[in-house]
Structure 1
Amino acid sequence: YGIVAGTGRLLEGVTNFRFGEAELDFLGRTGVVNQDTLDYLANYRFTGDIWGYPEGEAYFPNSPILIVESTFAEACMLETYVLSVLNHDSAIASAASRMISAAGTRPCIEMGSRRTHEESATAAARAAVIAGFSSTSNLAAGMRYGIKTVGTAAHSFTLLHDTEHDAFEAQLASLGTGTSLLVDTYDVEAAVRAAVELAGPKLGGVRLDSGDLVTQASWVRQLLDQLGNEHTRIMVTSDLDEYAIAALQSAPVDSYGVGTSLVTGSGAPTASMVYKLVSRTDDAGTFVPVAKAAKNKISMGGRKYALRKLNDRGIATHEIVGIGHRPEDDGNDRPLLQQFVKNGELLPGWTGHEGVVRARQRHADTMAELPAVVNRLQRGEPAIPTIYEEN
């Protein structure tokens, strides 16, 4: 399965998609387009409708995640932008969702800004939070989307001081005993003892960033308990992915900080989505389906309607995609497509902080609705099958 993300960012961009004087001047000077096209671009506005799976929703192979209804020129202009946003953000959210499944009730923190492009870092933080991450270290994401932000101490802060004791003392003086101290710059045992000596039983947490995390977390937990710090939390980082998180299930770990694997889609940096023309009007003004038929490039023509079929326990059994018609709802099913834009106007509730909050809740609801097989980390068949219905 995959998780839809990026729609809120996409909608803000689509409804504000304009060609300014600088862009028009460049296109004219370089001869990329002729004057008639320049005149068209100068007045470009998207005036059509957009439907799609809401952010946080699960998708499967060939799910109609986004439907753009407009003139050909208006829709064609958006192709690269649509695919750029949805492919990136959905890949991040899909990886984040698997990590959250592996983590269980333990929170995951997004910490990947140093491992990707500066703008994609902010988008990745947003996508990760939609898929269940508790917070991010990216302050720009916090400012733009109202996402909770957190931070951790760096090894450089410890190295700046003459001793680890001095570094911890300075951090505690600035941030209070509720902070988390990084204890693996030199000797872990000595660092834990120094941290407890300075902060006492109110020390918020310690962070481990290297070595055998399962072994280290176990004996650090024992040491903290022996020193009277039963409530001090242990956070682990160090190139974690969903498989490493799953391997830490039995370790006494309280939270995970995830960076590189998250912001690169954990090996799948793109969701491999495509943007295809599926219907056009004929000479009589009637919509007719169109589709590619080239070998290995076959597409399905016609307007799509998607429905998730649920059993009497509210668990999804399969997805139905109606081609040219709406699948029948037996009263216990869930239509998946929502309208985002009508006649070029953005409908409320899909963007900004509100959009992130709604998407995060939708992800939680969707995952609870899917069969338990979604928690499997190995490659395999889609969690539920997709059935196509034609007129």
Structure 2
Amino acid sequence: MNRPSTALLTDQYELTMVQAALHSGAARKRCVFETFARRLPDGRRYGVLAGTGRLLDAIEDFRFGDAQLRHLRDGGIVDKATLDFLAEYRFEGDIWGYAEGESYFPYSPVLVVESDFAHGVVLETLVLSILNHDTAIASAASRMTAAAGTRPVIEMGGRRTHEESAVAAARAAHIAGFASTSNLEAGRRYGVPTGGTAAHSFTLLHGNEREAFEAQVASLGADTTLLVDTYDVTEGVRTAVEVAGTGLGAVRLDSGDLVVQAREVREQLDSLGATETGIVVTSDLDEYAIAALAAAPVDSYGVGTRVVTGSGHPTASMVYKLVAREDDQGRMIGVAKQSKDKQSVGGRKYALRRRNAHGVAESEVLGIGEAPAGDAGDRDMLVRLVADGEVVGREHATLEAARERHEASVAELPRSAHQLSQGRPALETIFLTETP
């Protein structure tokens, strides 16, 4: 597949830093960059990493072609020496990270980039753009699927965000357990299952509700989902069953008190003999609304705005920081930002998920140097994604592997992780070095 260049999906200061480093002679110093979040969004108990698969593609496509170089040259953005460097740019280093779909916690090093300064620093904006967006979506989606239990959740937020964000959001939500999406490009590009039937406009197009239902059933079959709240719900349900028969697939409710309506509609469907007809509910749902519907006779949920906006937290607040560099003697030394409230921890980290004898996660253990030999309950979190500039870990970032990993990773968390009330992260992050 011929994909467009991602090289200008970046901030200008990434390139001006390269120019200055080339001028000073520091551009080729070995460095370690680390991506992490200092905290989870307020009240969240865990986060879910997503976007790694998209990021690996984007790094492969991070090439400065003629059009990109012309823009930089004509705009006087960088000098000739930097243009020459960028013309030959290919990422040459190593990248490690948490496998896509894993849960993470404050300071978890979800991505570690090892390269010289110039090759690593230019990836900062690209890394953060992809991981912050997709992780925010997956983290919110995970809370929603946890609240939904075994009931399927459908992603349908394409009309509430940028068109490309909608595709990425559908992928991230699927990783976190959403069953399907309404977005066809997400289906084509990533293989996310798609579905959809009709909106209120289809009902309003026809002279009355019966005509609309007859047209839909004639085209899509009796197992379709009919939207029954354009006018009167009770009449809509009655008409739907009369038109489609008791084999009607489902009815959809998109307004009103969904708990009360679901109960009334279930009773009505059963009384009409449509005992196998499902009830789909939509209308600005989030994890709290889904939890409130747990006792209602609902069969599936459709979520739009709240999932594609991270349910109030549209970014994961991840940062990309230099944590180690080569000194004048060729040794690697830890470096760290010490600004108030924005500290980082220097040094190339290892990361372990510490679990008890029952397989329940207890803490996130981070340290510098060699990981302690260990405890059989410790799980190494970092996997190799890129070696010498070549992607080697794509199996850690495929859609279905990430979806399965999310399910397993969340399942090993303590019960407190699944509470929707305000609280601290479910796992404490323990530094075996200096604590920030």
RMSD over aligned CA atoms reads 1.1
What is aligned with 2:187?
Answer: 142
What is aligned with 1:297?
Answer: 342
Structure 2: distance between partners of 1:288 and 1:110: 45
What is aligned with 1:377?
Answer: 420
Describe how 1:304-383 pairs up with structure 2 within 5 A.
304-350=349-395, 355-383=398-426
Structure 2: distance between partners of 1:74 and 1:337: 21
Describe how 1:186-335 pairs up with structure 2 within 5 A.
186-335=231-380
What is aligned with 2:71?
Answer: 26
What is aligned with 2:143?
Answer: 98
Secondary structure in structure 2 of the residue aligned to 1:276: strand
In structure 1, what residue type is equivalent to 2:351?
A
Q: TM-score with structure 2 length normalisation?
A: 0.88
**1:362 offset after TM fit, Å?**
0.2
Which moved further from structure 2: 280-289 or 77-86?
A: 280-289
Aligned with residue 123 of structure 1, among 154, 164, 168: 168
What is aligned with 1:85?
Answer: 130
Structure 1: distance between partners of 2:141 and 2:368: 31
Secondary structure in structure 2 of the residue aligned to 1:186: coil
1:53-83 superposed Cα distances (whole Å, 9 cap, x missing partner): 1111000011101000001011110000000
Which moved further from structure 2: 287-296 or 161-170?
A: 287-296
1:279-301 superposed Cα distances (whole Å, 9 cap, x missing partner): 01112221110111222222100
Structure 1: distance between partners of 2:206 and 2:426: 52
Is 2:152 the counterpart of 1:107?
A: yes
What is aligned with 1:386?
Answer: 429
Structure 1: distance between partners of 2:338 and 2:427: 27
Structure 1's unaligned 5+ residue stretches are none
**Contact kept? 1:320, 1:327, Cα under 8 Å:** no
In structure 2, what residue type is equivalent to 1:356?
L
Aligned residues between the structures:
389
Secondary structure in structure 2 of the residue aligned to 1:370: coil
Structure 1: distance between partners of 2:424 and 2:340: 23
**Contact kept? 1:327, 1:389, Cα under 8 Å:** no
Is 2:44 the counterpart of 1:12?
A: no
**1:269 offset after TM fit, Å?**
0.4
Structure 1: distance between partners of 2:163 and 2:61: 22
**Contact kept? 1:8, 1:350, Cα under 8 Å:** no
Which moved further from structure 2: 279-288 or 181-190?
A: 279-288
**1:196 offset after TM fit, Å?**
0.5
What is aligned with 2:29?
Answer: none
Secondary structure in structure 2 of the residue aligned to 1:278: strand
1:148-204 superposed Cα distances (whole Å, 9 cap, x missing partner): 101131000000001100100010011101110000001111111111111111100
**1:305 offset after TM fit, Å?**
0.5
Structure 1: distance between partners of 2:109 and 2:372: 14
**Contact kept? 1:278, 1:289, Cα under 8 Å:** yes
Q: TM-score with structure 1 length normalisation?
A: 0.98
**Contact kept? 1:50, 1:341, Cα under 8 Å:** yes
Structure 1: distance between partners of 2:340 and 2:411: 38
1:242-294 superposed Cα distances (whole Å, 9 cap, x missing partner): 01111111110000000000000000000000000000111222111011122
Structure 2's unaligned 5+ residue stretches are 1-45
Runs of 4+ in 1 over 6 A off after TM superposition: none
Is 2:91 the counterpart of 1:46?
A: yes
What is the identity percentage for the equivalent residue pairs of Structure 1 and Structure 2?
Answer: 63
Which moved further from structure 2: 340-349 or 142-151?
A: 340-349
Secondary structure in structure 1 of the residue aligned to 2:432: strand
**1:348 offset after TM fit, Å?**
4.7
In structure 2, what residue type is equivalent to 1:306?
A
**Contact kept? 1:306, 1:327, Cα under 8 Å:** no
Which moved further from structure 2: 17-26 or 321-330?
A: 321-330
In structure 2, what residue type is equivalent to 1:244?
A
Which moved further from structure 2: 80-89 or 289-298?
A: 289-298
In structure 1, what residue type is equivalent to 2:424?
E
In structure 2, what residue type is equivalent to 1:93?
A
In structure 1, what residue type is equivalent to 2:399?
V
1:288-322 superposed Cα distances (whole Å, 9 cap, x missing partner): 10111222222100001000111111110111001
Structure 2: distance between partners of 1:170 and 1:73: 61
Secondary structure in structure 2 of the residue aligned to 1:359: helix
**Contact kept? 2:53, 2:394, Cα under 8 Å:** no
1:305-361 superposed Cα distances (whole Å, 9 cap, x missing partner): 00011111111011100123313331222110000000010115348xx70000000
Secondary structure in structure 2 of the residue aligned to 1:84: helix
In structure 2, what residue type is equivalent to 1:82?
V
